[in-house]
Structure 1
């Protein structure tokens, strides 16, 4: 045991010695003007590959101080036309440099290089965009009680400035940007801060790229649906396990926390921009949320929407009833969507406090008339069936009627509006 302990101590001392030597080497590193440029020229002309490879190793392994960083970027700017496909490893190393937190002069210099790079070589544009978008994630230390820290906001501002310039110069890159945004979304279990930071920045992006608002909203809602479905499935498994094995699940659910803060970011977005974003959310709801079965939380964004905008309320409720009643002819697989629409309609009518009783009564009247007409048509039909699935929409609308009466009976029967 003593021999093992001595070996362990020796290994620790050796590692500390190596760390000190590495730190000293980093401190002594001093790049000279034109050193980077000469290495690139040598690589392009195939005269000295060793110098080029050593330069890449330095960029990847050595943290650069401001002087060395400026030297590298200055040289890159002077020979940006040479950074074609044969310099991909070098370009990738430069893209991974720590730049966004530096002072304004160096950030501007780096921004100028990136703009020049993608303008001269569009081949590098995906790599540039991907590296910029990956910087949208943050850790818990970068957030304060009311939002991201000022330091983090400044860092993100530098990133957004470059993205805005690239899209302004090359508008066609907006499609590429949207593809990268979707591909780079953090894993839904990556944690609250990673997901919240990313969504915060997508919302930020929508402010200077209004043409991408709806696509960005759709990407955000799609990710929130993934979280929502995961939470619902987890609850089902947990309840089943507790019933069968009397197990307790006391561990905090990070996915639920991520969804909570993601919804908070979207609610703040709705408060900031109101009308244009409200109508976009209605579009996304109809295209993404409505066809999705088995979610419990994301649709509450719609409850907030119809609570603050009468026009959106009219549109959403009318569309839900049209879908539930089968007036849109959705085609194969429409039964589940119709049932979901009926459920959403009943939930919104019951829970939104700003919907007057007269409107609830009108929808109850429409639902009951539809149910009676359905019963009459089914009884008279020669192809009547006892298959419960075939009557799923009817059962869903009946359930909506019972739900509304149970939930709103005090308001309905104690109001003068109910007399007609």
Structure 2
């Protein structure tokens, strides 16, 4: 039986002879156009396959594979093909790999529901009998997580009904294969890593891919650690390729181009939609992807019916994200936005904030952890305590007390020495903890001086001893932190820093040393000022952060006046190196 639609039998025969002959393909000629698929009923598929396996006739097999691969297939064509191929499941071993792969490359998700159901059944039966084809099949399933070249970006990140239908059908097959073929778990993870879009691919490619990765977690929560590790690693690549300076420059360039242009009435709506996007292409991709991950964290931590926080689910999510944070985010220097996933999780409940701060402080206090990780942990503590509106005053004071006790213990161990090497490489953690404490006090001073009781608490930290100790932490801390801290401590008579600052400014001597590779390094012995929760400037995902975020409030220092105007955004020295406030 031939499946013919829209042409007579004779016209189809001539088309097949003209465009699908094996000889033309073997000679490298280009095929002008796809042809209609006609099942070779004069020679049943089973008979063709059997003769090829027995090495009697190979030409019919090659013709069949080429027809499946190159013909234009309609619903009835695929149903006929699958009906006959299903009767030959037992034959479809490694010898018939090309025939199987020709079927597996068919874009089955674009056909009718009846064809999709038959294809799913064939695929499951095939891999149950011959798991040799599992890798290729899994790769083809995962390739459906990527959009077509002309597929538009989703509006507000919400998938279309057609995309949802396609995703449901693909995930149904993946879930079934994971149940019946144990080896598919490793194959799936390998394929997910292999097919992840390159950073310069379209935003929709990343959006659709992450959407499907998170969808897998709905029915396979045991994949969460691996999939979150993959997502975080790829988001970090986007983040480091979209520095804040470049994002800001892109925004400014667009604004300058639009100056003096009067949009038509018809363009107002589209202009408004464009204004909600980050102009930097990679930053826009990061924004859309982070919004997906933020939404996943919110949905996963709350009950769908009540909208209330589900504590058990939230704890499990926090533990999974913390593992990935430790492996991916903490060792990565100077990223700008991905780490706000932890900021969002901490905003859900004070208990999570406390647990995260304790986790970081434990790293700071562990001597066998590399210095760079200990220093990064302490700046995370400082930045979270300063920026998180959800951090209560009691926790803020507890953090400061913990830091002060550690600092004084360290000072005691050094005071007994005859001479002190104040090299930042030797005492880097000490200087890092001092800078964190100074930063928190300078940033949150309004909350710490609003009552006499809180001022007494600050006095109990013995800040004067810190700044006058032989290690001289004011020399090693970032100048903006030092200036703001000095202004607060002078106003409330907690410590007098200006004479030390002036002395340090007159005694600036760089350190010259040779690193492990033999290179000559000149260091000014000043800590960097990377604070991971400096302002979040992405637009779409930023709506999840803004309600929980504190911006720096400026202050004046004339005649002990401490009240200043609140500004909407922080004043930066330079993106990525600013502590979030300016020189006083």
Aligned match for 1:256, one of 266, 283, 286: 283
CA distance in 1, matches of 2:349, 2:405: 28
Q: Is the 8 A contact 1:293 1:337 kept in 2?
A: no
Paired position in structure 2 for 1:106: 115
Corresponding residue number in structure 1 for 2:299: 272
Larger-Rg structure: 2
Q: Is the 8 A contact 2:178 2:184 kept in 1?
A: yes
Seen in structure 2, the aligned counterparts of structure 1 residues 383 and 164 have a Cα distance that, compared at 3 Å, is: farther
In the alignment, does 2:226 pair up with 1:215? Answer: yes
Alignment correspondent of 1:125: 134
Within the candidate set 314, 325, 339, 1:299 is matched to 339
1:73 matched to which residue of 2? 82
For 1:92, the equivalent position in structure 2 comes to 101
Does the 8 Å contact 1:357/1:417 carry over to 2?
Answer: no
Find 1:194's aligned residue among 185, 205, 208. 205
| Alignment partner of 1:230 is 2:230 | no
For 1:165-180, list aligned pairs within 5 A: 165-180=176-191
The offset of 1:306, in angstroms, is 0.4
Identify the residue that residue 183 of structure 1 maps to in structure 2: 194
Post-superposition shift, 1:70? 1.0
Aligned partners of 1:270 and 1:278 also within 8 Å? no
TM-score, L = length of structure 2 = 0.62
Unaligned segments of structure 1, at least 5 residues: 1-16, 240-247
Deviation, 1:339, is 1.2
Q: 1:145 to 1:386 in 2, by over 3 A?
A: closer
Distance 1:47 1:416, change over 3 A: farther
2:92 equivalent among 83, 93, 110:
83
Q: For residue 304 of structure 1, report the CA deviation from its aligned partner.
A: 0.7
The aligned counterpart of 2:168 is: 157
Q: Structure 1 residue 369 and structure 2 residue 405: aligned?
A: yes
Q: Deviations over 1:117-147 (max 9, x none)?
A: 2111111111111111111012542623341
Whether the 8 Å contact between 2:244 and 2:336 is mirrored in structure 1 is no
User: Cα distance, 1:235 vs. partner?
Assistant: 4.3
Contact persistence 2:217–2:224 (CA under 8 A): yes
Query: Closer, same or farther in 2 for the Cα pair 1:402/1:22, shift >3 Å?
Result: same
Q: Find the aligned partners of 1:273 and 1:416 in 2 and give their Cα distance.
A: 43
Corresponding position of 1:378: 414
Work out whether residues 342 and 396 of structure 1, in 8 Å CA contact, stay in contact via their aligned partners in 2: yes
Structure 2 counterpart of 1:400? 436
| Matched pairs, number | 388
Q: Give the match for residue 12 of structure 1.
A: none
Q: Who is 2:217 aligned against?
A: 206
Partners of 2:86 and 2:419 lie apart in 1 by: 76
- Who is 2:269 aligned against? none
Please report the TM-score for the alignment, with normalisation by the length of structure 1. Answer: 0.85
Q: SS in structure 2 opposite 1:354?
A: coil
Question: Does the 8 Å contact 1:320/1:341 carry over to 2?
Answer: yes
Do 1:282 and 1:312's aligned partners in 2 also have CA atoms closer than 8 Å?
no
> Which deviates the most, 227-236 or 350-359?
227-236
- Change in CA separation of 1:171 and 1:314 when aligned onto 2, cut-off 3 Å: farther
Q: 1:127/1:373 Cα in 2 relative to 1: closer, same or farther (>3 Å)?
A: same
Q: Which residue of 2 aligns with 1:42?
A: 51
1:142 and 1:152 in contact (8 A); partners too? no
Q: 1:50 deviation in Å?
A: 0.9
Partner of 1:320: 360
Q: For 1:129 and 1:417, how far apart are their aligned partners in 2?
A: 64
On the 8 A contact 1:142/1:149 being kept in 2, the answer is no
Question: In 2, are the aligned partners of 1:293 and 1:336 still within 8 Å (CA)?
Answer: no
- Could you tell me which residue of structure 2 aligns to residue 31 of structure 1? 39
Q: What SS does the aligned partner of 2:333 have?
A: coil
What secondary structure sits across from 1:390 in the alignment? Answer: coil
Q: Which runs of 5+ in 2 are unaligned?
A: 1-17, 20-30, 251-255, 259-277, 302-313, 458-584
Which of 382, 395, 398 in structure 2 is aligned with 1:346?
382
3-state SS of 1:145 partner: helix
- Conserved? CA contact 2:35–2:70, under 8 Å: no
Q: In the alignment, does 2:321 pair up with 1:281?
A: yes
TM-aligned CA distance change 1:228 to 1:311, over 3 Å: same
Cα distance change of structure 1 residues 87 and 319 upon mapping to structure 2, 3 Å threshold: same
- Counterpart-to-counterpart distance in 2, 1:280 and 1:403: 30
Aligned 8 A contact 1:279 1:312 in 2 = no
Residue 389 of structure 1 pairs with residue 425 of structure 2: yes
Q: Is the alpha carbon distance of 1:142 and 1:68 closer, same or farther for their aligned partners in structure 2, counting shifts above 3 Å?
A: farther
Q: Give, in angstroms, the shift of residue 163 of structure 1.
A: 0.2
SS at match of 2:109: coil
Pair 1:384–1:63, CA change in 2 (3 A): farther
Q: Distance in 1 between matches of 2:336 and 2:157?
A: 26
| 1:47-74 C-alpha deviation (Å, 9 max, x unpaired) | 2211111122122222211111112212
